[in-house]
Amino acid sequence: MSLSPEAFEKLLAALGPGREQAGETYERIRQRLLRFFEWRRADCPEDLTDRTIDRVGKRLEDGDTIRASDPAVYFYGVAKNVLKEHWSEKRRGMLAVSRLAEHVPAGSDPESERRFRCLEECLEALPLADRDLVLGYYVGRGIGKIENRRRIAAKLGVDPNNLRIRMHRLRARLEECIERCIRSSSRRNGSKSMHTMSGKDGGV
């Protein structure tokens, strides 16, 4: 989490009259948030849980209050927005990664369809950590993108320059994989065409 000590204290104060009770409530809510994101098949339930708690803490620090009798209700409301943002970020990440497919709109012609299928296959072939890194790296715009990459670097324990080098290598691997996939697909399609033609000739 990235809450300041002051914000964390306000968060605990909103969860119960005593520190021990507040701590128990905090842990209960945290576990429920984890299940909330896991059941919805989010890629990173722990990160999304931390993001939800951070956002609640910052709202309380800014003067907001939890009015529901069960504080978990307030957290769930924030979690739903965090989940929507997560799926939106993932879609933007996929759109950015699609630059590897030369910005060709999917489904516009057989060649573009083949290229996008290859992109998906090559992403799936990556180890999960590398695939998540590729999809997460392109999220955001402007300052948001810079902050996002700083967070990724901090999470991986590397500096931003090392992260850029790692991403350059991953992108190179993806591009090479996509080109191999396209060549292989073209050869298969060519063989099918020749087979079809020879079959027609034989029937004359």
As a 3-state breakdown, the chain gives helix, strand, coil percent values, each rounded to 5, of 80, 0, 20
Q: In which residue are the tokens 């842990």 written?
A: 27
Percent above pLDDT 90 for the chain: 13
- Token pair for residue 185? 């697909």
Residue 178 exposed, middle or buried by CB count within 10 Å (0-12, 13-18, 19+) = buried
Confidence of residue 203 (pLDDT cuts 50, 70, 90): very low
Tokens of 103: 């910005």
pLDDT at 30 over 50: yes
Q: According to the model, what pLDDT value does residue 91 have?
A: 67
| pTM for the structure as a whole | 0.50
Could you give the percent of the chain with pLDDT greater than 70? 75
The C-alpha atoms of residue 88 and residue 142 are separated, in whole angstroms, by 16
Q: Is the pLDDT of residue 189 over 50?
A: yes
Averaged confidence pLDDT in the chain: 78
- pLDDT (0 to 100) of residue 5: 81
Q: What is the pLDDT of residues 133-186, one digit of tens each?
A: 887 887 766 677 777 788 888 888 888 888 888 888 888 888 888 888 888 877
CB 121 within 8 A of CB 181: yes
CATH number, domain 104-189 = 1.10.10
pLDDT(107) > 80: no
> Does 1 have pLDDT greater than 80?
no
pLDDT grade for 75, boundaries at 50, 70 and 90: very high
CA distances from 122 to 79, 181, 193 (A): 32, 8, 25
| Structural Rg of the chain based on CA atoms | 24
CB distance 174 to 100 below 8 Å: yes
Does residue 195 carry a pLDDT above 60? no
Residue tagged 């060709």 (tokens): 104
Q: What per-residue confidence (pLDDT) applies to 74?
A: 92
Q: pLDDT at residue 108 above 80?
A: no
Neighbours of 69 (CB within 10 A): 6
How far is 83 from 145, CA to CA, in rounded Å? 19
Structural domain spans, the chain: 5-89, 104-189
Give yes or no for residue 194 having a pLDDT over 60.
no
Under the banding of pLDDT at 50, 70 and 90, the label for residue 53 is very high
The pLDDT of residue 197 is 41
Q: List C-alpha distances in Å: 175 to 10, 98, 109.
A: 49, 11, 20
Cα separations in angstroms, 63 against 9, 10, 66: 13, 10, 10
In this structure, what token pair is assigned to residue 179? 């080109």
